[in-house]
Amino acid sequence: MKILIVEDEPLIRIGLSSLATDWGYEALEAGNADEAIAMIEQNPGVRLVLTDVDMPGTMDGIRLAHFIRRRWPPIKLVVISGKMAVSASELPEGTRFFGKPYQDHKLHEAITELLL
């Protein structure tokens, strides 16, 4: 099962990718929203996108989550941020939000639930 990690900080992105792989998922990586959209277009099997909020480029993680929900409704979404708290009303329905730092096992539980 494919998970796309969208994070502009390379060390965080690599860490999340490593966790996803350890949890048994195929992890794809993107450094911004434009790369993420291209990655989804090239990999139709992406089942979940985990995105940071604060990223450079044409859109932040919240706008990316809304774009994905409109264009690919079946893809599950997890949004993370270390700089701001995001309310459920700002996110597409069914999106999970995690503030940084988050507990790895809580993130794993949420991803598992979303992908059931």
pLDDT digits (tens, 9 = 90+) for 71-111: 999 999 999 998 777 888 899 999 999 998 889 999 999 99
Alpha helices in the chain (DSSP H): 10-22, 33-42, 61-71, 104-114
The class of domain 2-114 in CATH terms is: alpha beta
How far apart, in whole angstroms, are the C-alpha atoms of residue 31 and residue 9? 7
Q: How confident is the model at residue 57 (pLDDT cuts 50, 70, 90)?
A: confident
8 Å CB contact between 67 and 33: yes
Angle 11-8-32 from CA coordinates, rounded to 5°: 145
Model-level pTM? 0.94
Average pLDDT over every residue of 43-52: 96
The pLDDT value recorded for residue 85 is: 78
Domain ranges of the chain: 2-114
